Amino acid sequence: MRLTLHTDYALRVLVHVGLRDGDLVTISDIADCYGISKNHLTKVVHQLGRSGYLETVRGKFGGVRLLREPADIRLGQFIRETEEDFALVRCMRCDSRDECRLKGRCLAQTALAAGLGAFFGELDRYTLADMLDSERGAVQ
């Protein structure tokens, strides 16, 4: 499984903003820190604001800050909300019109679905607070 750059950047934004303990952070600060396009980050931040993860403050002294407690943001759930497609193979897509020739005999779809469930089960064990604690420990 590979996550999109959008999810990667969204996680980076949450970590960067979370480390600022409620202070407003500008998109330019985040872009400079990670070497990411400001235009692309603007789209990511906008989506995080619409999803209720960030508070966005406009204006000269504006910026963004976390809207939720870091301990309440589970990584698995966050990734489920930011990624669009988790179908590991075509037949796992809800809109798949491809009729599987092995239907009824194929174990792959069941096994892949179980693997995906285990993947998210493991991610759900961790929160943004865990990531922030790890980052703070690395800095010390």
- The dihedral built from the CA positions of residue 113, 88, 126 and 134, taken in this order, carries a sign that is positive
Query: For residue range 102-129, what is the model confidence (pLDDT) as tens digits?
Result: 566 677 778 888 988 999 999 999 999 9
Query: CB-based contacts of 53: which residues, under 8 Å, 6+ apart?
Result: 14, 66, 67, 68, 73, 78
- Does residue 140 have a pLDDT over 60? no
Beta carbons of 17 and 63 less than 8 angstroms apart: no
Nearest CA among 63, 70, 94 for reference residue 11 = 70
- Does residue 18 have a pLDDT over 90? yes
3-state secondary structure 9-74: HHHHHHHHHHCCCCCCECHHHHHHHHCCCHHHHHHHHHHHHHCCCEEEECCCCCEEEECCCHHHCE
* pLDDT at residue number 84: 82
Q: Could you give the domains of the chain?
A: 5-85+126-139 (1.10.10.10)
Query: For residue range 23-38, what is the model confidence (pLDDT) as tens digits?
Result: 999 999 999 999 999 9
Residue 136 CA, distance from chain mean position: 20
Query: What number is the average pLDDT over the span 84-108?
Result: 65
End-to-end Cα, the chain, rounded Å = 33
Beta carbons of 13 and 132 less than 8 angstroms apart: no
Kindly report the pTM of this predicted structure.
Answer: 0.83
Query: For residue range 68-79, what is the model confidence (pLDDT) as tens digits?
Result: 999 999 999 999
Looking at per-residue confidence, does 110 or 4 come out higher?
A: 4
